[in-house]
Amino acid sequence: MVKIILSGLSNSVVAMDSVAYMDETQKGNIIVCGSHGGESAARQLLRFNPGGAIFNDAGKGKDNAGISGLALLNEAGITAATVDAFSARIGDGMDTYESGVISAMNREAALCGITVGMRANEAAKRMLKFEK
């Protein structure tokens, strides 16, 4: 499932159940997905140059594997965050957007005012507002 939720001046907030649905038509969009925030998901997303991303932390896992992609995205200058796995269903982009609560974010996200405990829908709106 891929669904446009909000539109900005030059990009949109798009919900998708998995980063596997990413393609070149999503370039510059803020992606809210049900995928984990690990490095493999971040690398998949990077192939299509998103404007930002919100993932599920998948319980964070061993050595914070579920949020390890945040640093990789930060290095690329992409705003990114994860939601707590207990706040939104893994694999459900709309639930991530509607129910998710931010559990971790990268420096780029902090610079646009995203904080731990913030609702994912508010974080997505901030990412859209601070589009580059």
Which residue ranges make up each domain of the chain? Answer: 2-129
Please tell me which residue, 62 or 10, carries the higher pLDDT value. Answer: 62
pLDDT at 54 exceeding the cut of 60:
yes
CB-based contact 36:66 (threshold 8 Å): yes
pLDDT at 52 exceeding the cut of 70:
yes
Please tell me which residue, 78 or 9, carries the higher pLDDT value. Answer: 78
Rounded to whole angstroms, the Cα distance separating 61 from 8 reads 34
Q: How far apart are the first and last CA of the chain?
A: 26
* pLDDT computed for residue 129 by the predictor: 78
Residue range 64-82: mean pLDDT, rounded: 97
* pLDDT computed for residue 130 by the predictor: 66
DSSP 67: G
Q: What is the pTM of this model?
A: 0.95
